[in-house]
Amino acid sequence: MSNEAAKEQTTAENPWPVRTVARKIADWIHRLGAVWVEGQVTQISARPGTQTAFITLRDPSADVSMTVTCPTRLLKGIDPPLRDGASVVVYAKPTFFLGRGTISLRASEIRAVGIGELLARIERLRRLLAAEGLFALERKRKLPFLPKGIGLITGRASAAEHDVLANAHARWPAAPIQVVNTAVQGPTAVPQIRKALSILDADPNIDVIVIARGGGSVEDLLPFSDEALCRAVAAAGTPVVSAIGHEPDTPLLDHVADLRCSTPTDAGKRIVPDVKEETARVHQMRDRARRALHGWVDTQCRLLDQLRSRPVLADPLGPIDRRAADVETHRERARRAMLNTLSHEQAAIASARARLTALGPAATMARGYTVVQYPDAAGNLQVLRSISEVAEGTPLRVRVVDGAVHATATSTEPGE
Give me the sign of the Cα torsion angle 72, 74, 80, 85. Answer: negative
Residue-level pLDDT at 399: 63
What count of Cα atoms within 13 Å lies in the side-chain half-sphere of residue 325?
5
- For the beta sheet containing 397-401, the strands, ordered from the edge strand earlier in sequence to the opposite edge, are 381-383, 369-375, 397-401
176-199 pLDDT, tens per residue? 999 999 998 877 888 899 999 999
Per-residue DSSP letter, 57: E
CA 167 – CA 234 distance, rounded (Å): 26
Angle at 160 between CA 157 and CA 165, to 5 degrees: 85
In 3D space, the residue among 391, 361, 359 whose CA is nearest the CA of residue 374 turns out to be 391
| CA neighbours closer than 13 Å in the CB half-sphere of residue 121 | 14
In this prediction, the residues of the chain whose per-residue pLDDT falls under 70 are 1-9, 61, 114-117, 363-370, 387, 390, 396-416
State the pLDDT at residue 402.
53
- Specify the pLDDT at position 113: 74
Residue 365, pLDDT score: 65
User: Would you say how long the chain is, in residues?
Assistant: 416
> Are 105 and 96 a contacting pair, CB within 8 Å?
no
What pLDDT does 405 receive? 42
What angle, 0 to 180 degrees and rounded to 10, lies between the N-to-C axes of helices 227-235 and 115-131?
Answer: 30
Note the pLDDT of residue 413: 42
Q: What is the pLDDT of residue 220?
A: 79
Predicted pLDDT at 15? 87
Distance CA(147)–CA(143), nearest Å, equals 8
Instruction: Please tell me the predicted confidence (pLDDT) of residue 78.
Output: 78
pLDDT for position 208? 95
384 vs 408: CA distance, rounded Å: 14
Q: Does residue 266 sit in helix, strand or coil?
A: helix
Cβ neighbour number for residue 211 with a 10 Å cutoff: 28
E strands, 297-408, are 369-375, 381-383, 397-401
Integer Cα distance of 283 and 88 in angstroms: 60
- 259, 211 in Cβ contact below 8 A? no
The predicted pLDDT at position 415 comes to 39
pLDDT of 404 reads 44
Residue 103 CB partners (closer than 8 Å, separation 6+): 29, 66, 94, 95, 96, 97
Q: pTM surpassing 0.75?
A: no
Helices (H), 172-310: 189-202, 227-235, 252-256, 264-270, 275-309
Interior CA angle at 45 toward 44 and 47, to 5°? Answer: 145
pLDDT tens for each residue of 58-107: 887 677 888 999 988 888 877 777 777 778 888 899 988 888 888 889 98
Query: Residues 158-169: pLDDT tens digits?
Result: 899 999 999 999
Listed in sequence order, the residues at least 6 apart from 230 whose beta carbon sits closer than 8 Å to its beta carbon are 125, 129, 134, 252, 253, 256
Best CA proximity match to 73, nearest among 34, 38, 107: 107
Asked if residues 69 and 56 have their Cβ atoms less than 8 Å apart, the reply is: no
Amino acid (one-letter) located at 410: T
> How many alpha carbons lie under 13 Å from residue 87 in its C-beta half-sphere?
20
